[in-house]
C-alpha cells in the first residue's frame, strides 16, 4: 500500500483545510489531496512538495500565480495540480501510485524572491 501524509509548509499564511490529513491508497490507484488556503490562489504561487521518510524534499509541481502549471519533468506522467479559484483550493492528483510514492506531501506557498 501507499501511505501519504499531507501537511502545510507556509510562512504567515493560514491554512483553512487540508484533506485528507493521512490517506492510504492501493498500488496502482489514484491519490487526490486538497489544500484550501486563506489567500487567493489566483495571485500567489502554490506548489506541492514531498518528502519520503529519511530522504530530502522533492518538488512535485504547482501553479505560478494561478496561470501556468509546472510539473517536475520526471513526474509529469504521475502528477497533476489543479486550482479552484472560487474556493482557493489547490488539488494534487497522482495516478498509478506505488509504494515508492509513500511520503509526507506538503502544500507550499512559494514566496517570490526579488533581485535588483
Phi-psi domain of 91 (left: phi exceeds 0; alpha: psi -120 through 50; beta: other):
beta
| Model confidence at 116: pLDDT above 80 | no
Question: DSSP secondary-structure letter at 111?
Answer: P
Grid cell digits, residue 55 = 530522504
Q: Which of 74, 91, 71 is nearest to 82 (CA)?
A: 91
The pLDDT value recorded for residue 2 is: 63
| Model confidence at 95: pLDDT above 50 | yes
The pLDDT value recorded for residue 12 is: 38
CA 55 to chain centre: 17
42-85 pLDDT, tens per residue?
877 888 998 888 999 999 998 876 567 889 999 999 999 988 88
> Where do the domains of the chain lie?
2-104
Q: Does domain 2-104 have CATH number 3.40.980.10?
A: no
Amino acid at each position: 500500500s501507499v501511505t501519504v501524509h499531507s501537511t502545510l509548509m507556509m510562512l504567515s499564511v493560514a491554512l483553512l483545510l487540508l484533506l485528507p490529513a493521512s490517506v492510504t491508497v492501493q498500488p496502482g490507484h489514484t491519490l487526490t489531496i486538497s489544500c484550501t488556503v486563506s489567500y487567493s490562489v489566483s495571485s500567489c504561487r502554490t506548489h506541492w512538495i514531498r518528502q519520503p521518510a529519511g530522504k530530502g524534499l522533492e518538488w512535485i509541481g504547482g501553479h505560478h500565480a494561478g496561470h501556468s502549471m509546472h510539473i517536475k519533468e520526471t513526474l509529469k506522467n504521475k502528477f497533476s495540480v489543479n486550482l479552484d479559484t472560487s474556493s482557493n483550493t489547490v488539488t494534487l492528483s497522482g495516478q498509478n501510485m506505488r509504494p515508492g510514492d509513500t511520503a509526507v506531501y506538503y502544500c507550499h506557498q512559494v514566496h517570490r524572491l526579488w533581485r535588483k
